[in-house]
């Protein structure tokens, strides 16, 4: 694997591990189809990259080298037999909240240490059917509860653009793996912003689909009315390809909708001329970093230059998004996490009595943030408080959803910042949990409303000598992923921020 040269678009590559790592899904497929590279070569390139740099980035909790190479060999054999799918032979990473048969599934928690599921998520089964290669499982905040991956029970993932800083969370491992070229693309999960915020902080692209667009079956549950799998990629075209592969109705998940899945990639080239895009005034809050506001307004100017009409819009119930989310989500996680008792699977403290074993297992197995949210959720659901808190929160959630419904009567899409702050240094984030919760203030309302959103690179901000990525999100009406992908693609092609890669060796 040396000396062969080829070109993709306007970029030149040398077939070798250092160059193959830069390829996107669609670039890789172009070369696989013409037999200029093999899936085994491509997979080896990423495994080599992981071996070289992951001791600095810490994207992965588990790397399945032998299995990945076996899958790559099988993909090459399928291609030789005439098969061709968009993801045949493409190496992918999977957030360790999503089950893959035969691979550890820890949710970055000690309480699931050693658990290997005998089943796998529907999304993984669909990718396996297409011949995708699974490199391994990526790090996250424990049970997807966090903003930085510092809540992982095992290791803190580092931001490839500044290894002294966090990559965001909870899908920080997947985002960092994509940004650091340790995978072609990855899957994450988004409950309140967990693919979009780390994508914004790592100069990558991430989609939270409409609730019900992608099956949740096989995802370790956090908050069942909010959780969604989302593709995390190097560019918008890849996001469209990966979303199509995992979307669709699933009889194993009654919340999935029998909506047709369009060819998202085919609709990317339409442009934004004549489209109406709303700019929510409530998304510009006191304390937001001025560089982030500037990046969003630059994006507005760029869309205007491309022919879109951008106007201000009001989403008046935005301010209630954070309290509503932390009532609904904690109530649901309190119920979902009750199953971890040290009896059936995962970690067990091994105490003498059943109740003492239960207490010690949960006390030792869960981390501080998970315990905090379990306590809050249990209180919300307790006798005398259900109506006052959880039921009331669901009513306000309906009002938040109506804000978006009314906005989409006027607009094709909305544009907004992803996070109010830049990625902070490891160990130096806000110490007050409420201040940390505010980092999701722009992503929580959309999660509560169940609408699709995509985070796209929008520039860089200088801070303490570091050049830090900033993203912008485009928001669409339910099941309008094709529309926001089209807007995101037009913006991406006009700006090319994605071409700025981290300065890793």
Residue 493, Cβ density class (10 Å: 0-12 exposed, 13-18 middle, ≥19 buried): middle
The SS3 call for residue 21 is: coil
Distance CA 113, CA 90 (A): 28
Question: The pTM is what?
Answer: 0.95
For residue 406, what are the contacts with CB-CB under 8 A and spacing of at least 6? none
Q: Using alpha carbons, select from 436, 373, 447 the residue that is nearest to residue 166.
A: 436
**Catalytic site residue from 17, 59, 95, 137:** 95
Domains of the chain: residue spans and CATH: 5-268 (3.90.1300.10), 270-499 (3.90.1300.10)
Using CB atoms within 10 A of its CB, is residue 384 exposed (0-12), middle (13-18) or buried (19+)?
A: exposed
Active-site pick, 170, 348, 439, 455: 170
What SS3 class is residue 258? Answer: coil
Catalytic position from the list 194, 215, 348, 455: 194
Quick one: CA dihedral 20, 23, 25, 28, positive or negative?
negative
Token pair listed for 405? 């419904």
Rounded distance between C-alpha atoms, residue 58 and residue 61, angstroms: 8
DSSP 8-state code for residue 165: B
3-state secondary structure 391-454: HHHHHHHHHHHHHHHHHCCCCCEEEEECCCCCCCECCCCCCCHHHHHHHHCCCHHHHHHCCCEE
Q: Is-catalytic flag, 225?
A: no
CA-nearest of 385, 382, 374, 398 to 324 is 398
Which pLDDT belongs to residue 204?
98
pLDDT tens, per residue, the chain with 505 residues: 334 443 434 333 455 444 788 899 999 999 999 999 999 999 999 999 999 999 999 999 999 999 999 999 999 999 999 999 999 999 999 999 999 999 999 999 999 988 999 999 999 999 999 999 999 999 999 999 999 999 999 999 999 999 999 999 999 999 999 999 999 999 999 999 999 999 999 999 999 999 999 999 999 999 999 999 999 999 999 999 999 999 999 999 999 999 999 999 999 999 999 999 999 999 998 889 999 999 999 999 999 999 999 999 999 999 999 999 999 999 999 999 999 998 888 899 999 898 999 999 999 999 999 999 999 999 999 988 888 899 999 999 999 999 999 999 999 999 999 999 999 999 998 877 777 777 789 999 999 999 999 999 999 999 998 999 999 999 999 999 999 999 999 999 999 899 999 988 7
| Secondary structure percentages of the chain, helix, strand, coil, to 5 | 45, 15, 40
**3-state SS assignment for residue 324:** helix
Contact 475, 414 (CB under 8 A): yes
Distance CA 377, CA 375 (A): 6
**Does the annotation mark 455 as catalytic?**
no
CA dist list (Å): 402 to 165, 183, 316, 398, 448 = 37, 39, 10, 6, 11
**Do residues 184 and 68 make contact, with C-beta atoms less than 8 angstroms apart?**
no
Q: Contact at 8 Å (CB) between 206 and 183?
A: no
Tokens of 332: 């649901």
Instruction: Give the tokens for residue 206.
Output: 């991430």
Active site annotation includes 348: no
Contact present, 416 and 296 (Cβ < 8 Å): yes
SS3 label, residue 468: strand
As beta bridge partners, residue 113 has none
Distances (CA, A) of 288 to 135, 301, 419, 422, 439: 37, 20, 8, 9, 10
pLDDT of 287 reads 86
Distance between CA 207 and CA 488 in Å, rounded?
Answer: 10
Residue 41: CB atoms within 10 A of its CB come to: 20
Alpha helices (H) along 208-286: 236-246
pLDDT score for 15: 52
Name beta bridge partners: 98: 219
Q: Which residue has the tokens 């588990």?
A: 62
């Amino acid at each position: 694997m040396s000396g062969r040269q080829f070109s993709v678009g306007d970029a030149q590559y040398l077939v070798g591990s250092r160059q193959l790592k830069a390829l996107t899904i669609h670039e890789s497929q172009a070369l696989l189809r013409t037999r200029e590279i093999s899936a085994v070569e491509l997979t080896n390139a990423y495994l080599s990259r992981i071996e070289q740099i992951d001791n600095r980035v810490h994207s992965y909790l588990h790397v399945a080298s032998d299995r990945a190479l076996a899958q790559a060999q099988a993909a090459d054999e399928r291609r030789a037999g005439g098969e061709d799918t968009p993801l045949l032979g493409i190496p992918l990473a999977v957030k360790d909240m999503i089950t893959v048969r035969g691979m550890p599934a820890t949710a970055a928690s000690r309480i699931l240490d050693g658990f290997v599921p005998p089943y796998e998520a529907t999304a993984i089964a669909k990718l396996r059917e297409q011949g995708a290669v699974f490199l391994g499982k990526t790090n996250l905040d424990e049970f997807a509860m966090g903003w930085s991956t510092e809540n992982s029970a095992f290791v803190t993932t580092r931001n490839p653009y500044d290894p002294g800083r966090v990559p965001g969370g909870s899908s920080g491992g997947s985002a960092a793996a994509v940004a650091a070229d340790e995978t072609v693309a990855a899957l994450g999960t988004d409950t309140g912003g967990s693919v979009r915020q780390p994508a914004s902080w790592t100069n990558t692209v991430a989609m939270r689909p409409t609730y019900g667009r992608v099956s949740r079956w096989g995802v370790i549950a956090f908050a069942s009315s909010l959780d969604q799998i989302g593709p995390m990629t190097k560019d918008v075209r890849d996001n469209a390809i990966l979303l199509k592969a995992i979307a669709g109705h699933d009889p194993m998940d009654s919340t999935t909708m029998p909506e047709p899945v369009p060819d998202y990639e085919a609709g990317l080239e339409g442009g934004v001329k004549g489209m109406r895009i709303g700019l929510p005034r409530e998304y510009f809050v006191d304390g937001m970093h001025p560089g982030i506001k500037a990046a969003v307004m630059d994006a507005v100017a760029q869309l205007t230059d491309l022919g879109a009409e951008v106007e201000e819009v009001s989403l008046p119930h935005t301010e209630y998004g954070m309290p509503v989310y932390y009532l609904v989500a904690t109530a649901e996680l309190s119920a979902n996490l009750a199953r971890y008792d040290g009896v059936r699977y995962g970690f067990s403290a091994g105490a003498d009595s059943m109740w003492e074993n239960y207490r010690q297992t949960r006390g030792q197995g869960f981390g501080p943030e998970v315990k905090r949210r379990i306590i809050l959720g249990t209180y919300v659901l307790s006798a005398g408080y259900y109506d006052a808190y959880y039921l009331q929160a669901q009513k306000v959630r309906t009002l938040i959803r109506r804000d978006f419904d009314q906005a989409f009567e006027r607009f094709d899409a909305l544009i907004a910042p992803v996070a109010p702050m830049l990625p902070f240094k490891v160990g130096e984030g806000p110490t007050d949990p409420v201040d940390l919760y505010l980092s999701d203030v722009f992503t929580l309302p959309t999660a509560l409303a169940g609408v699709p959103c995509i985070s796209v690179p929008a520039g860089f901000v200088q801070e303490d000598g570091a050049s830090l990525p900033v993203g912008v999100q485009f928001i669409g009406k339910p099941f309008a992923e094709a529309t926001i992908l089209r807007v995101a693609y037009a913006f991406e092609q006009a700006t090319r921020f994605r071409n700025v890669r981290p300065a890793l060796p």
